[in-house]
Structure 1
């Protein structure tokens, strides 16, 4: 598997530009045989055409992200190795498989070892998470402006009456979590202090009021979400992100579904990601237009 990947890398690095606009790339010495089967040669050009085929954009993007990780100093470390081993053993346990049988089955798919499996299955995810964390710390101010983190407590009730009773209770000094147990209807919003961001599952009308209040404290009115028919009681405990920066960053990293693309796009721009072949360009554009940063 590593040998094939090396061949593909070699071909990709041998690109020769055939023009400027709508260019098509090729490989030098394209007729040179890489593999012979009977009287049939599989050439450098054949392998490169496979690279540019249906999976070409995906392969090129995978190679590009691996390069980005290297450029940003992200490598497989001991923590990643331990995490992979732990997840792997948990997976074996849940599927009731023996490790030697699992590895044997992998070989039928061209994966020669457990380490190769980790390289393909676990490490890319961990590296992306590390890149996301680096991005959030590199661009902290703009990230906080985008995700608008706020710390607070939320109680969800099925009726306005319950919510109003809960509001009166907390205004009179009752513990917020106790009020949530007494008047709330879900464990999702149990009154526990949490960090909320733009991508949290909290209804937008509730989140907007949390971020728009001028100071910390209990919001004086019950908030109705007309789309669900639910009612909310909210206490904003902290709006100044400098006072809960670490919690805010962790919530963004754990909650955001857009962070992978945002981080990749940022570092593609930083390192001047440029595509010299129209087929690969169109393939990547079709997969995710935000990755096209050269226009």
Structure 2
């Protein structure tokens, strides 16, 4: 990959468990093994899965590969096929199993060809915008051609996006209550007395906008804020009041100055309080939040009775999220 490609912003692309859904060549010492058997049980109607037989071997893997004692790497260090397989499970197993399971679930949930094609085209345009061409990106990531990239990365990502949007749409009332959603504009003052005086002046949106203009250096329109918003972009004390703000049903200034973690004071203007009228933007915003994505994933994994019998793999998956597997 060129330096230009390495510097490209990829945050808009599909990620699962903090790992980009893309194929990267894996190397271990002198050579690599082509394919590994992924070990999961998916009890999903008639869906075929992979079975791990369980025993009481503590933290050892209970799954085995055919010809596991065969040496695949020799020299100063000898590695067997089973050893290499377990290395892959240690480093990629839990993420790969969850990704495969989630992709299978998405294929079962999302079957509207028109919507899949539209979302696929949207994602392809993002790749083209960032990488110049799909062919160049496919080659750099080790795919034989664009078709393979589409089949293994882009189309599965499109289905995942559609499935998550479907969940948020179907459960809209529930999710805005759960994540305590509101739209906020904030002006920060160094002294509490200044903030209190500003609240008295901000009698309506026009008056608040004038204050924002006069204090442009400390004014911020945060847009959608929820209890899972990042503290790297929004002050933690604002997020702590997410529940309070989300229950306000009329646009306007919040009655009290909010002391920030920096020691400054903020006045908060709540807008777009009619959540139903802003349904699409709320779904889009929450759909990009990693915490929300994990909650949705846990929901679908439980819905389809995702089960892992290998104790070590199950433990690794629970470390990612205790709700992913029972």
Alignment partner of 1:290: what SS? coil
Question: Equivalents in 2 of 1:10, 1:275: separation in Å?
Answer: 8
User: Hey, what does 1:236 align to over in structure 2?
Assistant: 270
User: Hey, what does 1:113 align to over in structure 2?
Assistant: 145
**Do 1:158 and 1:185's aligned partners in 2 also have CA atoms closer than 8 Å?**
no
* 1:171-219 deviation line (CA, Å, top 9, x unaligned): 27744223211134335238xxx44322342513554542455x52544
Pair 1:286-2:315 in alignment: no
More helix as a share of residues: 1
Match of 2:92 among 52, 55, 64: 55
User: Hey, what does 1:196 align to over in structure 2?
Assistant: 225
User: Hey, what does 2:217 align to over in structure 1?
Assistant: 185
**Structure 1: unaligned runs, 5 residues or longer:** 37-42
User: Hey, what does 2:77 align to over in structure 1?
Assistant: none
Cα separation, partners in 2 of 1:52 and 1:205, compared to 1, 3 Å: closer
Between 1 and 2, higher relative CO (CA 8 Å, sep ≥ 6) is seen in: 2
**Structure 2: unaligned runs, 5 residues or longer:** 1-22, 24-33, 42-48, 73-79
Cα-Cα RMSD? 4.2
**Do 2:165 and 2:287's aligned partners in 1 also have CA atoms closer than 8 Å?**
yes
Cα separation, partners in 2 of 1:272 and 1:44, compared to 1, 3 Å: farther
Alignment partner of 2:315: what SS? helix
User: Hey, what does 1:270 align to over in structure 2?
Assistant: 303
User: Hey, what does 1:79 align to over in structure 2?
Assistant: 118
Q: CA deviation at 1:259?
A: 1.0
User: Hey, what does 1:40 align to over in structure 2?
Assistant: none
**Do 1:92 and 1:99's aligned partners in 2 also have CA atoms closer than 8 Å?**
yes
Pair 1:92-2:131 in alignment: yes
**Do 1:149 and 1:198's aligned partners in 2 also have CA atoms closer than 8 Å?**
yes
Q: How does 1:111-150 map to 2 (within 5 A)?
A: 111-150=143-182
Pair 1:210-2:245 in alignment: yes
Question: Equivalents in 2 of 1:226, 1:102: separation in Å?
Answer: 44
Question: Equivalents in 2 of 1:236, 1:14: separation in Å?
Answer: 50
Question: Equivalents in 2 of 1:72, 1:116: separation in Å?
Answer: 22
TM-score, L = length of structure 1: 0.70
Larger radius of gyration: 1
**Do 1:17 and 1:24's aligned partners in 2 also have CA atoms closer than 8 Å?**
no
**Do 1:285 and 1:291's aligned partners in 2 also have CA atoms closer than 8 Å?**
yes
Q: CA deviation at 1:80?
A: 2.9
Equivalent pairs counted in the alignment come to: 273
TM-score, L = length of structure 2: 0.64
**Do 2:227 and 2:240's aligned partners in 1 also have CA atoms closer than 8 Å?**
no
Pair 1:225-2:259 in alignment: yes
Question: Equivalents in 2 of 1:50, 1:147: separation in Å?
Answer: 38
Question: Equivalents in 2 of 1:184, 1:91: separation in Å?
Answer: 33
